Structure 1
Amino acid sequence: MGFSLSKQLNKAAKMSACSGREGAKVVIIGSGFAGLAAASTLVKGGFKNVLVLEAKDRIGGRANTTKPFTENVIEVGANWIHGQIGNPLFKIAKEKNLLSEGLPSSESSEDYFFKEDGKPVPNTIVDQVNTLFSNLTDKASHDALAPEHQDLTMGAYLDDAFGTSPLAATEDGRQVFEWCKRNECTDEACSSLYEVSASQMSNYTTLEGDFFNTLGPGGYRAILDVLLKDVPSGAIKYSSPVKSIRWDLAKEGNCQDQRYPVQVICENGQSFEADHVIVTVSLGVLKEKATTLFTPGLPVNKLNAIKNLGFGVVDKIFLYFEKSFWPTDCAGVQMLWKEGPENKDVYEALSEGDAWKTTWFKKITGFDTVARHPTALCGWITGREALHMEKLQDSEIRDTCLRLLRSFTGWSVPAVSKMLISRWGSDSHIRGSYTFVPDGVDGVAAHKALASPLPPKDASIGKRQLQVLFAGEATHVNFYTTTHGAYLTGIREAERLKSYYTV
């Protein structure tokens, strides 16, 4: 029905925005949480001509639920719902009974920390450093940095604050602290905390409630399916990557004389006219294509926002074994290095040149157990090291991971039966994982500039307004990096259009 719907939209060429919600043609680019939230909200709001163009052959974007090993799901992308109070996705999951039940409690298991010589680190040291690290990051998140730390990078601030602790005087303490910074890089999707702004951390809002809410057997796909039910069958055109967006095509005049102001042209040659286009592609795609995707070109402030905001890579390495080899109370194997990549001296020494590529594996924080997969482990890696890993053969990555597990733990680690490796940075339709605010960048201004519709507010009023709208996690000032942030921006732009047609 997708083709007939597109023909239907094109046959409506005589209709324009003047005919209200039912006649307005809206094209949404992308079917992740932002795109589906926008489509669902518009359809429920009375819009009849809504078309979603999806570059991939599936919905979800950076949420990708799959079953590569058993009948149970694996989350290649988005993994948890972060926060509960005020989180719309948690609310949906709760109401639809999509949250996990009966999974082993994290309180009954713990991470095992090993140094590279194979010696374990006492839990007392790990807990003390983790608690201190959490307190320090909370200060940044709650805008409670001391004046001398306001202009520092996150890495520099943490180093300075940790240096005053007795824990910094011990080798174990320093190595656990470096692991904490490496682990934080996963939350920030950055190559290093020495590239992230400390003061800008307070702009991100952490919702109350458990930060790691695990979904049930349907995974994230189950929530996406809830949204999909509101979208008419055939309204999504798959495998339709967009090549160009031509906007501001409308002529001056009355409704009968007005052309559609926007034309979307796909790489396969198909084109679609629209009154409004909602762009929900990732910041990574915008970084790669913003200067060629739009005609006329984007305003300078929006181009600067795209350039200045960071968009990092977080990859997962899933290792599936025929039998587990770790203790039943083990939640994960975490690896500590004498000279880890988040050690300040190491970072500075490797800031230039390609020497860091020979030790890319040191950016792996460790290997965590996987929900519903009692014989699987998941390794986490971020930043430039993740991008480098993506270019390697699966066999080399597998052998490296096995070598690490065996050398750090001293356990008898069997061969890997199956494996799955995400490669988000190499994905031409994504180009990364999520947004962070680099040092020296005004995140609030950048997020707002990215979210502003076209034409700009200072353009002439009337039907030239709201031709191209922008949604996605990178356009949310407080909830960037999250699925609920993406979802809320889709609703935000749909509500903007609904208000536009409200008399």
Structure 2
Amino acid sequence: MSSLSHRGREARIVIVGAGFAGLSAAETLVKAGFQNVQVLEAMGRLGGRAYTMRPFSENIIELGANWIHGQKGNPLFQLAQEHGLLSEEDSARKSVSSRNYFFKEGGKQLATVDVDKMCSLFDKLTAKAFDSELEKRHRPLSLGDYLDRAFAETRLAASEDRRRIFEWCKRNECTDEACSSLYEVSASQISEYTDLKGEFFNCLGPGGYQALLDLLLKSLPPEAVLKNQAVETVQWDLKAEEQGQEQRCPVRVVCENGESYEADHVIVTVSLGVLKERARTMFTPALPKSKLCAVERLGFGTVDKIYLQFSERFWPEDCAGIQLVWNQGPEDKDVYSCDCEGESWKDTWFKKICGFDTVARHPTVLCGWITGREALYMESLRDSEVRDVCVRLLESFTGWAVPEVCQVLVSRWGHDPFVSGAYSFIPKNVNGVQEQKALSAPLPPRSKHSTRKPLQVLFAGEATHVNFYTTTHGAYLSGVREAQRLISHYAHKTQNS
């Protein structure tokens, strides 16, 4: 097994961003023997889109990343399992003894048999897309168009209630895809996403995602991670005359506070949302056209949470969530098509709230989910306005007496300047694999005859992972991937020295 050369140990590496991608890259590099690794985080906290809080009690709330997506082959699940960070009690409660209560507009609860049939059908139809089993006629379509056509061909489509449940399923899927509508999402390209085997639930214990972040941080020297260091520009391919000295480091990272860092290599892990806003101004020289096109073509949407803490519990013990089924919701194509160019959808933004789920270890807290343009609009409202709307929804749909809301906590990821959304998706008519590979390609581009220093700027983050985009383990693995590029680069130098 090769080891790092002296040049490798001394190489200066700057990592932009301290989410799972940035911290996994830093941990991998430090464990490999790199001695000059610096992580710059724009926020005053670490974790990026993973944000574990304790706003209501000593028990945690996840304002950001919430799920462990599968178990087999998931490095974060394995890490949590090895260190006793899982909660078997919570997973058993969610999967066995509780169920969702579906209510339609007007206050009537829907029959469980109808809900189960429609959810099963929806899962079957989406599985065809994820498993690359779509018929040829469906492959060019958006996910929404494919689902509409496939559903219309079934006998279940004749029932109005079942059609409405199917629309709820589509709206719920928007949360998984981080999109405003499934008519934006490619039906065929989602087959590139790899769904890991194992249960799909938040099986993290009382430490939440913060406990996993803490494990990564333990491997790093305290001075290796700096907060409140928002990066303004990444100046790469610097020449000696530009540095005013003998060329040693080809990259300079300049922060908004005026501080700068010289580096041999920079790993950029900012979100695709940040790149969409700043890719053309953040890098000097400009990014290659292929990378700018990837930033533009890939989708990046907003998903928000609305936490409501009530004075007392008002839902049944076996209730895992209160789901809202509208007579005509925002995912209906005719409604979406009419409103996509106008502003009338803002009057009914709350129709994008799928429902309100119970929250582990918080017996009097519900969490509402909302996504897309409606989530962005919701972010512009005061917490009290959001609270009042949610209470009205709960009262009108269930007919139950809803007690006082003691506290409300609303995420606003779309307006967070250091995130600008939640996670990525593959739009219709976009080759996801091609664009994700272009996004992850290091700079400068490879060339046999080039004298430029290689691997000056590398890119990581969930949007750069072909198979695990949208996920925390995708972000984690992308950071490891870029760290391994550098390890291999210097190991190769060692073998030929």
Which residue, 157, 161, 167 being the options, matches 1:172? 161
Inter-partner Cα distance in structure 2 for 1:166 and 1:485: 39
How far apart are 1:322 and its partner, in Å?
Answer: 1.7
- The two structures, once aligned, show a CA RMSD in angstroms of 1.3
Contact 1:313 1:434 in 2 (8 A): yes
Residue 447 of structure 1: aligned partner = 436
Inter-partner Cα distance in structure 2 for 1:101 and 1:128: 28
Which residue, 148, 157, 170 being the options, matches 1:181? 170
What SS class does the counterpart of residue 328 from structure 2 fall into?
coil
Contact 1:152 1:198 in 2 (8 A): yes
Q: Mind listing any 5+ residue stretches in structure 1 that lack a counterpart?
A: 1-16
How far apart are 1:413 and its partner, in Å?
Answer: 0.2
1:466-486 deviation line (CA, Å, top 9, x unaligned): 000000000000000000000
Work out whether 1:305 is the aligned partner of 2:305. Answer: no
Residue 413 of structure 1: aligned partner = 402
1:460/1:258 CA distance change after superposition, 3 Å: farther
Residue 32 of structure 2: aligned partner = 45
Look up the equivalent residue of 2:121 and give its one-letter code: L
What SS class does the counterpart of residue 119 from structure 2 fall into?
helix
Inter-partner Cα distance in structure 1 for 2:187 and 2:18: 33
Residue 133 of structure 2: aligned partner = 144
Work out whether 1:212 is the aligned partner of 2:201. Answer: yes
Inter-partner Cα distance in structure 2 for 1:348 and 1:276: 46
Look up the equivalent residue of 1:29 and give its one-letter code: V
How far apart are 1:415 and its partner, in Å?
Answer: 1.5
Inter-partner Cα distance in structure 1 for 2:283 and 2:277: 12
How far apart are 1:161 and its partner, in Å?
Answer: 0.3
Q: More deviation in 18-27 or 95-104?
A: 18-27
Inter-partner Cα distance in structure 1 for 2:489 and 2:212: 29
Question: 1:87-486 counterparts in 2 under 5 A?
Answer: 87-103=74-90, 104-251=93-240, 257-458=246-447, 460-461=449-450, 464-486=453-475
| Alignment TM-score, normalising by the size of structure 1 | 0.95
Contact 1:250 1:260 in 2 (8 A): no
How far apart are 1:460 and its partner, in Å?
Answer: 4.7
Look up the equivalent residue of 1:39 and give its one-letter code: A
How far apart are 1:251 and its partner, in Å?
Answer: 4.2
Inter-partner Cα distance in structure 1 for 2:481 and 2:137: 38
Contact 1:113 1:336 in 2 (8 A): yes
Inter-partner Cα distance in structure 1 for 2:158 and 2:12: 64
Q: How many residues align?
A: 484
| Alignment TM-score, normalising by the size of structure 2 | 0.96
Look up the equivalent residue of 2:247 and give its one-letter code: Q
How far apart are 1:74 and its partner, in Å?
Answer: 0.2
What SS class does the counterpart of residue 98 from structure 1 fall into?
coil
1:36-57 deviation line (CA, Å, top 9, x unaligned): 0000000011100110000011
How far apart are 1:258 and its partner, in Å?
Answer: 2.6
Residue 70 of structure 1: aligned partner = 57
What SS class does the counterpart of residue 9 from structure 2 fall into?
coil
What SS class does the counterpart of residue 436 from structure 2 fall into?
helix
Inter-partner Cα distance in structure 1 for 2:402 and 2:68: 32
How far apart are 1:463 and its partner, in Å?
Answer: 5.6
Residue 498 of structure 1: aligned partner = 487
How far apart are 1:62 and its partner, in Å?
Answer: 0.2
Look up the equivalent residue of 1:64 and give its one-letter code: Y
Inter-partner Cα distance in structure 1 for 2:301 and 2:203: 23
Q: More deviation in 257-266 or 151-160?
A: 257-266
1:395-416 deviation line (CA, Å, top 9, x unaligned): 1100000000000000000110
Inter-partner Cα distance in structure 2 for 1:270 and 1:81: 37
Q: More deviation in 465-474 or 17-26?
A: 17-26
Inter-partner Cα distance in structure 1 for 2:239 and 2:28: 26
How far apart are 1:164 and its partner, in Å?
Answer: 1.2
How far apart are 1:257 and its partner, in Å?
Answer: 4.0
Contact 2:324 2:397 in 1 (8 A): yes
How far apart are 1:461 and its partner, in Å?
Answer: 3.8
Inter-partner Cα distance in structure 1 for 2:25 and 2:125: 37
Inter-partner Cα distance in structure 2 for 1:211 and 1:285: 29
What SS class does the counterpart of residue 368 from structure 1 fall into?
strand
Look up the equivalent residue of 1:60 and give its one-letter code: G
Look up the equivalent residue of 1:116 and give its one-letter code: E
Q: Mind listing any 5+ residue stretches in structure 2 that lack a counterpart?
A: none
Look up the equivalent residue of 1:303 and give its one-letter code: L
Contact 2:356 2:369 in 1 (8 A): yes
Inter-partner Cα distance in structure 2 for 1:166 and 1:343: 19
